[in-house]
Structure 1
Amino acid sequence: MAEVTLRNITRRFGETLALDGVSMTVPDGAFVVLLGPTGAGKTTTLRLISGLDAPDGGEISIGGRDVTNLTPAQRNVAMVFQQYSLYPHMTVRENLAFPLKSPLLSTPADEIARKVGRVAEMLQISHKLDNKATALSGGEMQRVSIGRALVRDPAAYLMDEPLSSLDAKLRADLRVELKAIQSEARATFLYVTHDQIEAMTMATHVGVLEQGRLVQFGTPREVYEAPVSIYAASRLGLPRINILPADLFGTAPPGARWIGLRPEQIRQGEGQDSEVVRVERLGDQTRLHLRFRNQDLVTVTDPHTELQAGQTLKISPRNPYYFDADGARAL
């Protein structure tokens, strides 16, 4: 495995600046999740690292080697796309074995069989090995697509929302499996997702992209507990952080325009009266939708709460975040 470094990477598509001077170091053996909405530059970043696209400026190195001008094959990375990238005329076994038959790898037949068998068992598709790819369900095809990357031993794995098309149970199972694989192999992963649970549970580091700029990079806890902006704070956490006028609960610090309150930063049972608008029972927790001084906010409470819509609940802020008029962290 290897460290992946981006130095001042820029990429344009016509008049659109897709990446704007992005610099980032993915430590050897790290599991880095890239977060941001559509158009933030997440997939473009993966394509540049893989060599499927070329930057307009900057340098990319993998394992200390400058790969900016190398072909994808020369970079020794494995990429999993959001859409299935399988050969429809081949069986599952042949699809999984195909990357290992590359002249660059020259993998012995018995080693190919061993790796294919191990990955197939891990992804719960051993019983499908002799099926044609066209005979698989969408979830099975995506598992084979992931397996084609896992059979290799690349310098880095690049994954573009690989679990998004799977059902909830399989997605949860594979989330655990992928993290276990990464930890056991000490592999370097760059992983794109919109799923905050995946980011919080799988990542060792999170990179928050906004309109082609890397606005924050750190551990999931760092990004969650010390966001640099409203935008970064909104990337992690369910329910999402409440952004309200800074003086809603009283005097605000100088320069503060907004107050940010995650659910656990709303103290219940003391403070000022709010109205319970809706009680959303989710089993392991209950979300409270509140109305306070004509502002809506959401918090969580005991799953067995007896609160009902229309009742009054006293609330107050606890260690809130403050942001300036531009959304940058003020305090």
Structure 2
Amino acid sequence: MAEVCLTGITKRFGKDVALDDVTMTIPDGSFVVLLGPTGAGKTTTLRMVSGLDAPDQGRITIGGHNMVGLTPAQRDVAMVFQQYSLYPHMTVRQNLEFPLKSPILRTPQADIDRKVAEIAEILQISSKLDNKATALSGGEMQRVSIGRALVRNPSVYLMDEPLSSLDAKLRADLRLELKSIQADSGATLLYVTHDQIEAMTMATHVGVLDKGRLVQFGSPREIYENPVSIYAASRLGQPRINVLPADIFGGAPSGAASIGLRPEQIVQGEGEESLVQRVEHLGDQTRLHLTCKSHDIITVTDAHTELKPGDIVRIRPRNPFYFDATGARLA
């Protein structure tokens, strides 16, 4: 496996800047998740690393080797696309075998059979091995697509929202399996998702992208607890961080335009009066939808709370985040 370094990567499509001077190091053996809305530059970053696109400026190295001019095959990467990208005339088994039958790899048939059976069991598609790819459901096709990458042992795995088409239970199961496979193999994995739960549960590092720029890079916990901006803070956390006028509770520092409050930063039982608008019982916790001085706030409380709509709750901040008028975090 290998460390991946992007240095000053810029990519334009006409007048649109897809990536703007992105510099990022993906450590060897790490599970890096790229977060950001559509158009932030996540998939473009994957395409730069894979060799499907070339940067207009900057340098990419894998394992210390410059990737300029190298094809995807020469870079020894395996990519899973959001679309299934299977060979429709082949069976599931043949799709899984295909990468291992490359003349470059020259994998013995016994090793191919063992690896295909192992991955099929992990992805719960053992009973589908002799089915044509076109006879599968969307979720099954995506599992085959993931499996075709996992059967190999490349320098880097690149995955573009590979779980988005799966049902909730299978998505949860595969989150655990992918993380386990990555941890056991020591693979370097770069993963794109919109799902912050995937980022929080799988990633060793998270890269937050905004309009082609890398705004923060660190562990999920670091970005959650020490965001550099409102934008970065809003990428992680469920429910989303509450962003309110800085003076809503008083005591804001000079230059503060907004205060950011995650649920654990809201103390209940003292402070400003807030009206309970809605109560959501979620089993292990209860979400409270409040209104304080005409501003909506979402927080969590005891799972067995007896609060109901129309009740009054007093709240105050504890160790909140403050942001300036541009959305940047104040020290």
Q: CA deviation at 1:68?
A: 2.4
- Structure-1 residue corresponding to 2:319: 319
- 2:286 paired with 1:289: no
Aligned length: 331
- Structure-1 residue corresponding to 2:232: 232
Q: CA deviation at 1:272?
A: 1.7
Q: CA deviation at 1:231?
A: 0.2
- 2:260 paired with 1:260: yes
Q: CA deviation at 1:303?
A: 1.0
**1:197-212 aligned within 5 A:** 197-212=197-212
- SS in structure 1 at match of 2:144: helix
Alpha-carbon distance in 2 for matches of 1:307, 1:195: 30
Alpha-carbon distance in 1 for matches of 2:177, 2:327: 37
Task: Answer with 145-154 or 250-259: which moved more.
Answer: 250-259
Partner deviation per Cα, 1:126-146 (whole Å, 9 max, x = no partner): 111101001111111000000
Amino acid at match of 2:154: P
Alpha-carbon distance in 2 for matches of 1:175, 1:305: 32
Amino acid at match of 1:178: L
TM-score, normalised with respect to structure 2: 0.99
- SS in structure 2 at match of 1:23: strand
Structure 1 stretches of 5 or more lacking a match? Answer: none
**1:95-244 aligned within 5 A:** 95-244=95-244
Amino acid at match of 2:321: Y
Alpha-carbon distance in 2 for matches of 1:79, 1:202: 18
Alpha-carbon distance in 2 for matches of 1:253, 1:100: 60
Structure 2 stretches of 5 or more lacking a match? Answer: none
Alpha-carbon distance in 2 for matches of 1:291, 1:124: 46
Amino acid at match of 1:231: Y
Alpha-carbon distance in 1 for matches of 2:103, 2:72: 14
**1:272-287 aligned within 5 A:** 272-287=272-287
Amino acid at match of 2:50: S
Partner deviation per Cα, 1:252-308 (whole Å, 9 max, x = no partner): 101110000001100011112111111111112111000001111100011110000
Percent identity of the aligned residues?
75
Amino acid at match of 2:70: L
Partner deviation per Cα, 1:157-191 (whole Å, 9 max, x = no partner): 00000000000000000000000000000100000
Amino acid at match of 1:16: D
- Structure-2 residue corresponding to 1:4: 4
- Structure-2 residue corresponding to 1:55: 55
TM-score, normalised with respect to structure 1: 0.99
Q: Which ranges of 4 or more aligned residues in structure 1 deviate by more than 2 Å? A: none
Partner deviation per Cα, 1:1-46 (whole Å, 9 max, x = no partner): 1000000000000000000000000000000000000000000000
- 2:14 paired with 1:14: yes
- Structure-2 residue corresponding to 1:81: 81
How big is the alpha-carbon RMSD for the aligned residues of Structure 1 and Structure 2? Answer: 0.6
- SS in structure 1 at match of 2:115: helix
Amino acid at match of 1:59: R
